[in-house]
Amino acid sequence: QVHLVESGGGLVQPGGSLRLSCLASGTVFRVNNMGWYRQAPGKERELVARISSSAYTDYADSVKGRFTISRDNAKNAVYLQMNSLKPEDTAVYYCNAVINLQVSWGQGTQVTVSS
């Protein structure tokens, strides 16, 4: 059984920064792509950023230049550094990873950008 646990969400003012973390635990043999998705109220879940096992990255246009995804393969972890946050970034952020050839999701962490 594999679990993804996110942390680092919270309330931040516009222009502020947050760093999300996601750690995979359990019986982990192989981790391929890892990424972050988000879902705002009344909207569909959308891709924010993803990173391959070889560190190739891909970002949604709305976060390019503001967010940075990274991973630590030794820790089976993925991170999302979010800078210059905007109110429209408010959402529940979910960690996603392909572990042991299966897709796993975290439980989500709330990010609220408000003054």
pLDDT for the residue numbered 40? 97
| Residue 14 DSSP class | T
pLDDT above 90: residue 1: no
Place of tokens 């990274």: 70
CA dist 4 and 96 (Å) reads 8
CA dist 108 and 7 (Å) reads 9
Reported confidence tier of residue 61, pLDDT bands at 50, 70, 90? very high
**Coil, helix or strand at residue 62:** helix
Q: Give bridge partners of residue 113 from the DSSP assignment.
A: 12
Q: What percent of the chain has pLDDT over 90?
A: 95
Express each pLDDT in 26-41 by its tens digit: 999 999 999 999 999 9
